[in-house]
Structure 1
């Protein structure tokens, strides 16, 4: 009898406890589900996807000529770097030779990232163009509406991309006057902006009046990427370009963290080149990559999803027309425009002992890439391969 009464007495209490616990559990679950998620609004590159497979007969028809060029320019495998030729994203020819690090005896392989120098500008421009394409900024937007302390009122994003700002190269105005910058300190992109804002650095020419290739332009573009995305340049480039395209061996050099692990560069005589106070500036340089990763990047730039057609047309329009001639510069890409209507697009790079060349033969869907961490101008000679694939009327006789 007592046992029965006890059970009757405890049942309501147990039921009440279960209800309370269940209610608490629901409250906790509701709280978790209602926590707002941060929306990822970054415009990202997308891979091109499968392309038409090239035949072995086609490969055989061009590989011999490419090999002849290779042996002529780098006899006895004297190249110190990476060399790749591809069509439709499929590699036709590639070579990797020389030391990644002479002291350690490590060799350059397909997975060895090297400094691509000013070819970095193509990648920086690509990130900026994706932001324009997404409506986050405008090509003709004034720079000082984004970088509030930027002192040149007439300068636009388009002018930065096409080197028409009239600004001076930061490597020069920080080198010649100690009151402007102490070279014992590492220079950063923000330092460059602060100097421009406070040190009365005059323009080389009136903004918008002429073309003048200048690394300062792309250092400022990197700051714009940071301001608009809310991320450091290194992170923004990774999230917008490197990760989406599977560029697993590509990164932005950080002088404070990467000095001891990067592939060093060398003079032509093999002497290692050290670091200096300019090595922390990015946007104009400081992308480390491989030929295969850059091939992925190149094919993505040929994707229909890259840019809207009207914007893409502006990228490949020349902006340095003060003097009649064939050489020109678009939005982050160099070009040669012949009177025949044929156009050739490319970008070269040089920093310390690193030289680089990136050539997208767009009509032929051919990609040519050469990277070297030992000083040589032979890297730039890869343009001689263009006539193998299309009607590119170069005159190479004077260069023989």
Structure 2
């Protein structure tokens, strides 16, 4: 009887040992899996546009280069430009120039790989990420914002009315500046702070949603939060995964206030006086992307690829939504436009933040990309639109009469 008990005890010990070892093996596998490099989240990604078009002839390039150089020297005489500039057709660079300093004190030169603050041209990139998420059915164009951001206080605002600036929201730069009870300007403002203020401080709409157009940075600060909510990633990481890395935009990044405030390219007034950071510099989506003309050329080419969006959604991007008053100027889904009675359309976006000015022009019909960036304030950045006349029937005047 005693022997049987001992045998049973031994069997139980062996079984217990097997269970423990098996459990340890499973736990070890779990640990190994958690320590391993996990695959990146399955997000829609931009695809580079392969250039299957014939190469531009040397004669064509030289002719255009002469005209562009003449414009450049007239626009920025005596090497007065401080920034970067590029003109390309079918993805082939015709002309590019890099002049001046990213930092006047250190005399650090601006080169083709120097990321400059692209100001509101960032909105085109934010819109692109949202459009990719819409295209992948991760979110819907007409979806109410309060179904995604639960504390969002305006029930009629949709993703579309954020994209086309018809939400009626007020500019966060104004309602955080005027009343200390709303925000203490000694504190750095974040996107979440903007949302919380609107939800708790009775910040009413400027006008009824979708009644009219009013360009407003708050729209794109909210779109950045939507990107974070849908992707479960910080905005800067989502942009990297959806756009920057797939397109090889190696010199493009989202400004992180704590990480980059002392190292990012400095901005200046027109008289070269340095402009420091302020409490608004941590808000992103509406601004705060740094890039180069070469990277933005890759971005523009990808946006004009047939794989960017479905034809239906693509057509909605380049449609004007603000037709209350007759005129040529309009705004689509993250892109400005001029629509003439001739049927000719001009698509672009400008930017201005501190001393940084930017211009992004995409002549879709002609396959032309024009980029101008500067970190020393000048409105001449916006004059590069005149170059459109070199490539198509655009009613701009290249030369002053």
Q: What's the TM-score, normalizing by structure 1?
A: 0.91
Residues 247 and 266 of structure 1: CA distance in aligned 2, closer, same or farther (over 3 Å): same
CA distance in 2, matches of 1:291, 1:183: 34
Correspondence 1:277 to 2:279: yes
CA distance in 1, matches of 2:72, 2:237: 36
Instruction: State the 1:40 CA deviation.
Output: 2.8
Contact 1:51 1:89 in 2 (8 A): no
The count of aligned residue pairs is: 377
Correspondence 1:161 to 2:163: yes
CA distance in 1, matches of 2:374, 2:52: 29
CA distance in 1, matches of 2:220, 2:212: 17
Residue of structure 1 equivalent to 2:48? 47
Q: What's the TM-score, normalizing by structure 2?
A: 0.90
Residue of structure 1 equivalent to 2:15? none
Residue of structure 2 equivalent to 1:250? 252
Residue of structure 2 equivalent to 1:192? 194
CA distance in 2, matches of 1:39, 1:78: 45
Residue of structure 1 equivalent to 2:343? 341
Q: Counterpart of 2:357 in 1: which secondary structure?
A: strand
Alignment map for 1:21-40 (pairs within 5 Å): 31=29, 40=41
Residue by residue over 1:98-146, the C-alpha shift from the partner in whole angstroms, topping out at 9 and shown as x without a partner, is 0110111101000100100000000000000000000000000000000
Residue by residue over 1:131-186, the C-alpha shift from the partner in whole angstroms, topping out at 9 and shown as x without a partner, is 00000000000000000000000000000000000011000000000010000000
Residue of structure 2 equivalent to 1:7? none
Alignment map for 1:64-75 (pairs within 5 Å): 64-75=66-77
Residue by residue over 1:39-74, the C-alpha shift from the partner in whole angstroms, topping out at 9 and shown as x without a partner, is 732000010012322111110221111011000001
CA distance in 2, matches of 1:388, 1:395: 10
Instruction: State the 1:76 CA deviation.
Output: 1.4
Name stretches of at least 5 consecutive residues in structure 2 with no aligned partner: 1-17
Instruction: State the 1:395 CA deviation.
Output: 5.4
Contact 1:51 1:88 in 2 (8 A): no
CA distance in 2, matches of 1:30, 1:255: 39
CA distance in 1, matches of 2:169, 2:398: 34
CA distance in 1, matches of 2:40, 2:247: 21
Q: Counterpart of 2:49 in 1: which secondary structure?
A: coil
CA distance in 2, matches of 1:251, 1:97: 21
Detail structure 1 runs of 4+ shifted over 3 Å in the superposition. Answer: 27-39
Residue of structure 2 equivalent to 1:361? 363
Residue of structure 2 equivalent to 1:147? 149
Instruction: State the 1:197 CA deviation.
Output: 0.2
Contact 2:116 2:290 in 1 (8 A): yes
Contact 1:255 1:280 in 2 (8 A): yes
Of 386-395 and 315-324, the range deviating more from structure 2 = 386-395
Residue of structure 2 equivalent to 1:386? 388
Residue of structure 2 equivalent to 1:132? 134
* Structural RMSD (CA): 2.0
Q: Counterpart of 1:371 in 2: which secondary structure?
A: strand
CA distance in 2, matches of 1:396, 1:247: 31
Name stretches of at least 5 consecutive residues in structure 1 with no aligned partner: 1-19
Instruction: State the 1:28 CA deviation.
Output: 6.8
CA distance in 1, matches of 2:206, 2:27: 62
CA distance in 1, matches of 2:189, 2:101: 29
Residue of structure 1 equivalent to 2:209? 207
